[in-house]
Chains A and B, each alone.
Chain A
Amino acid sequence: MKNLMVITMDKSYLLQVAESKVSYHKKQAKMAYEEKVKIIIELQKIKNEFLLKHGKNTTSNMNVWRIQL
């Protein structure tokens, strides 16, 4: 039986990663609303493309917004 190498991660490193994620999401939350709307439209496109590729239909209330930004 091969020797298995167990990789352990330093607890402080994991905490640092978690804090960094929180800090990233907080920063994203503070983004200008106008930028957030652009992101929402991109997410609508991605979700609809994904559903289409997986043979699932989007419903009539899932249209990508055609709005002037």
Chain B
Amino acid sequence: MKKTLQKINDLVEKKIIEKYAIAGGMAQFYYIEPSVTYDLDLIVHISGEENNLNPLSPIYYWAEDNGYKTEGEHIIIEGMPVQFLLAYNELIEDALLNCAEITIFDEKTFILRAEYLMAIMLQTGRMTDKERLARFFVEAEFNKEKFLELIKQFGLQEVYEKSYGDNNG
């Protein structure tokens, strides 16, 4: 994974990506006990002028130039399928802006904070999200005030009260 992170950081250095953060399962497992996942999701801001029809095209050109294969929506970077996603709503955008800098495998990288991941899981609401969010309440260290502030800011209070009420943290 070290090599994968190095290549992703290269994308920032080469100004193809302006900013990125690890999201999805691989971000969640930074805070809770791991379970199975098969890809690394990254939320990204693309540098320079945006190509509205294919905003991720600079990354795909980079992958092609560097001999990295694509499989569906993933680019296999040093053995790991990586999915690049643009910040697709205001919550994700805010999560990216407020991401945390961490060091893993001796590489500097960026990851979405626990409270944002929890709000995103609440917003997305798939079965996996519900199961993982329940685990966050039990296993993760997070700032409950910050989480409550976020769900208020992004209009998720009702779904939170309905699904979780006061039965956590």
> CA A28 – CA B136 in complex, angstroms?
12
Chain B contact-residue range equals 20 to 34
Structural contact, A40 and B37, CB atoms closer than 8 A: yes
Chain A residues, Cβ within 8 Å of B79: 65-68
* Contact digits for A32-68, partner B, Cβ 8 Å, 1 yes 0 no: 0110110110011001000000000000111101111
> CA A39 – CA B33 in complex, angstroms?
10
Structural contact, B29 and A40, CB atoms closer than 8 A: yes
Q: How far is the CB of A26 from chain B (nearest CB, A)?
A: 5
* Chief secondary structure at chain A's binding surface: helix
Chain A residues, Cβ within 8 Å of B31: 29
Let me know if B67 is at the binding interface, CB within 8 A. Answer: no
Let me know if A7 is at the binding interface, CB within 8 A. Answer: no
With A25-B139, A34-B105, A69-B1 known as contacts, the answer to whether A61 contacts B80 (CB < 8 A) is no
Structural contact, A61 and B71, CB atoms closer than 8 A: yes
> CA A43 – CA B29 in complex, angstroms?
13
Chain A residues, Cβ within 8 Å of B39: 61
Q: How far is the CB of B57 from chain A (nearest CB, A)?
A: 21
Q: Which of B20-42 contact A (CB under 8 A)?
A: 29-39
Structural contact, A25 and B29, CB atoms closer than 8 A: no
Structural contact, B104 and A33, CB atoms closer than 8 A: yes
Structural contact, A63 and B34, CB atoms closer than 8 A: no
Structural contact, B36 and A67, CB atoms closer than 8 A: no
Structural contact, A40 and B36, CB atoms closer than 8 A: yes
With A44-B38, A67-B78, A67-B80 known as contacts, the answer to whether A28 contacts B33 (CB < 8 A) is yes
Chain A residues, Cβ within 8 Å of B3: 67-68
Chain A residues, Cβ within 8 Å of B140: 29
Structural contact, A61 and B38, CB atoms closer than 8 A: yes
Chain A residues, Cβ within 8 Å of B71: 60-61
Chain A residues, Cβ within 8 Å of B138: 22, 25-26
Apart from A34-B105, A60-B72, A67-B3, list 11 A-B contacts with CB within 8 A: A25-B138, A25-B139, A26-B139, A29-B32, A31-B33, A36-B34, A40-B35, A47-B36, A61-B72, A67-B79, A68-B79
Measuring CB to CB, which residues of chain B are less than 8 angstroms from any residue of chain A? 1-4, 29-39, 71-72, 74, 78-81, 104-105, 135, 138-140
